[in-house]
Structure 1
Amino acid sequence: MKKLSLGIIAIFALSILTSCEAINTIFKAGMWWAFILMFGGIALIIWLLSKFMGGGKK
């Protein structure tokens, strides 16, 4: 069901947008996902390093 609704939304968006606008929207979404994933990865690495270096001990 989720794939069906995602497909309908994608077809609707592509029918409204011109090809250049659609590509631009896809790249903008990809750029934001890249920033979010990079921030999450860096935060995870810092957290893991603090745990391994004994940052959580009292």
Structure 2
Amino acid sequence: MKKLNISLLVLTMMALSSCSVITGIFKAGVFVGILAVVVVIGVIIWIISLFMGGGK
């Protein structure tokens, strides 16, 4: 019975740590997504300014 409790504790610890790892990955993904959107908008504004003659 004691081995069962220890294995359950180890299994629970592994499951909780993997959840925190996945949370960190999703937070990093959100940051990268926001950064990509800002870069794309900046490139679009830069291309429009080139066509409008503002790049000279």
Q: CA deviation at 1:44?
A: 0.4
Provide the rounded CA distance (Å) in 2 between the counterparts of 1:50 and 1:32: 27
CA-to-partner distance for each residue in 1:7-30, whole Å, 9 max, x for gaps?
Answer: xxxxxxxx8x71110110000000
Aligned residues: percent identity?
48
| Structure with greater Cα Rg | 2
* TM-score between both structures, scaled by the size of structure 1: 0.64
Provide the rounded CA distance (Å) in 2 between the counterparts of 1:56 and 1:35: 26
Query: Gaps (5+ residues) in structure 2?
Result: 1-13
SS of the aligned residue for 2:54 comes to coil
Q: How many residues align?
A: 42
Name the structure, 1 or 2, with higher relative contact order (CA <8 Å, separation 6+). Answer: 1
Q: CA deviation at 1:56?
A: 2.3
* TM-score between both structures, scaled by the size of structure 2: 0.66
Query: Gaps (5+ residues) in structure 1?
Result: 1-14
Q: Deviating runs (4+, > 2 A) in structure 1?
A: none
